[in-house]
Structure 1
């Protein structure tokens, strides 16, 4: 059979490319061009081409500590999101009637408020004379106010609140696709509720866990406003390192090199995750 395309097929491909041209131009201008510019800036110094910006990763301890703290907080937020989000998604997936929309609506409620407002709300809740410390003191649980902000704890709590929907939604979508007949079959073979859950439901829900974990972890890596407000200077993430290099030192090359390294790490995370489940499942398109 000949592989030559017909005039109608060629005309159809040209029409598709023509229709895609505006979108490709926008993507090129708003995404590809800044990335190319950032990569070029990372190798640019006062005297031309240089690797000095990347050499700082091996000579400046601030760079290493910032990346370590960023990945540690991202890991803590991801683990907490799994522990909290999995039961919520499970209840929503198993509920009937009006309960699933109500549960998901409450999960999505944070999206209705800006990130800045939510960060300040957590600052008010967790400060030394905030609602949490006041309630615990009046209840006699503590004698002195706990230090809940200006540290990693406050950053993790506020970030978890903002990113929890990105864990619950992939989990819920995966759980809804699990046939109830499989659990019934496990029960009919003599398995108890816990055994059926561990042997049947939990393994089948793991794609949702992985998809939600990748989304939460990667989004946490780029957080700026929340750690800036609740970290109190003790939480110094990669996004803040980029900001300091630009605002204080006017070092666009250094900031670009940090961004390039973080971008490569994010691509590596997606690559590793795609080796476990298809990329389409991670993005929720399947």
Structure 2
């Protein structure tokens, strides 16, 4: 029996011999340890400098002011948690942001699903509808809602045909919900569509062929696979809604004030930088807690979805 090396082994031996011959001393050089890390650091250095100057330094300034202005100590925190109006504004901010998130998810899910089943030309048109709001200023869009929702606006005039004399939407939580949902809806549609576009629709056909009804197949097979996109869009919407200022200020009243409005009042209206800093710090802590909790839940949900997908593939 012949023991000659095959073509693959011969090619590998030849390549190794060439590398050894090209290297002084007959042994190949090893890459220097840490070289890749230095190159990566040089690439990331401009971004780190920008973050340090425009993000970490202002955050550190706010944190220091929360504990030192006007006097060192915890007086600012005691003021925030001892004032009932501050806690009410915090609860209102969380509540309205939550309902905006729910509205956006309920509207974005069917829209994103429709984008996955239509023809490419129609899909491109729908994508354009989603992207157009990004090219328009938020102030302009909010002013448009002010015109539309006031009693003498187009919607109010149309409702008079049905006997409704006053629309009564402006300066209410309903107007704030409408304006915020319209601004944040594209941020929910895009993650959900990105997830749905990767789902193999043949899974629904397979489920129906095994006896599952269309609704059962959708809920049991398709819906769990969309949860990562839904969770990403919902979390992005909720976190962005927490810091809204223009829309609640223009469409709502003082009874619909957000924490951002409270910060503006303390800093610009009363020149209380310490109070404004502690409100911003509380908002940051609440946001980080929400991100941490949702990240933990997302890992658990993601692992269960992966197990289900792996079981279906098996």
- TM-score calculated relative to the size of structure 1: 0.91
Following TM superposition, by how much is the alpha carbon of 1:25 offset from its aligned partner in structure 2, in angstroms?
A: 1.3
Match of 1:284 in 2: none
2-side partners of 1:135 and 1:25: how far apart?
A: 54
Following TM superposition, by how much is the alpha carbon of 1:18 offset from its aligned partner in structure 2, in angstroms?
A: 2.3
1:208 aligns to 2:229 (yes or no): yes
Deviation digits for residues 107-152 of structure 1, max 9, x if unmatched?
22211110000000000000011111110112x2x33212111111
Following TM superposition, by how much is the alpha carbon of 1:181 offset from its aligned partner in structure 2, in angstroms?
A: 2.2
1:92 to 90, 115, 120: 115
Following TM superposition, by how much is the alpha carbon of 1:277 offset from its aligned partner in structure 2, in angstroms?
A: 2.3
User: How many residue pairs are counted as aligned between the two chains?
Assistant: 272
1:192 aligns to 2:213 (yes or no): yes
1:259 to 267, 277, 280: 280
| Greater radius of gyration (CA) | 2
The answer to whether the Cα contact below 8 Å between 2:90 and 2:259 also exists between their aligned partners in 1 is yes
2-side partners of 1:106 and 1:196: how far apart?
A: 30
1:11 to 26, 31, 35: 35
1-side partners of 2:119 and 2:251: how far apart?
A: 39
Alignment of 1:237-248 (within 5 A): 237-248=258-269
Alignment of 1:1-286 (within 5 A): 8-46=32-70, 48-138=71-161, 140=162, 142-278=163-299
Gaps of 5+ in 2: 1-29, 303-314
Match of 1:3 in 2: none
Following TM superposition, by how much is the alpha carbon of 1:19 offset from its aligned partner in structure 2, in angstroms?
A: 2.7
2-side partners of 1:14 and 1:199: how far apart?
A: 48
Following TM superposition, by how much is the alpha carbon of 1:211 offset from its aligned partner in structure 2, in angstroms?
A: 1.0
Following TM superposition, by how much is the alpha carbon of 1:276 offset from its aligned partner in structure 2, in angstroms?
A: 2.4
Match of 2:21 in 1: none
Following TM superposition, by how much is the alpha carbon of 1:45 offset from its aligned partner in structure 2, in angstroms?
A: 2.9
2-side partners of 1:193 and 1:12: how far apart?
A: 52
1-side partners of 2:157 and 2:270: how far apart?
A: 41
C-alpha RMSD of the superposition? 1.6
Following TM superposition, by how much is the alpha carbon of 1:191 offset from its aligned partner in structure 2, in angstroms?
A: 1.7
Deviation digits for residues 186-222 of structure 1, max 9, x if unmatched?
0111222211111111111111111111111111110
Following TM superposition, by how much is the alpha carbon of 1:272 offset from its aligned partner in structure 2, in angstroms?
A: 1.1
2-side partners of 1:120 and 1:150: how far apart?
A: 13
Following TM superposition, by how much is the alpha carbon of 1:7 offset from its aligned partner in structure 2, in angstroms?
A: 5.6
Helix, strand or coil for the counterpart of 2:255?
Answer: coil
1-side partners of 2:39 and 2:283: how far apart?
A: 38
Deviation digits for residues 54-109 of structure 1, max 9, x if unmatched?
11232111101111111111011111111111110110122222121111211222
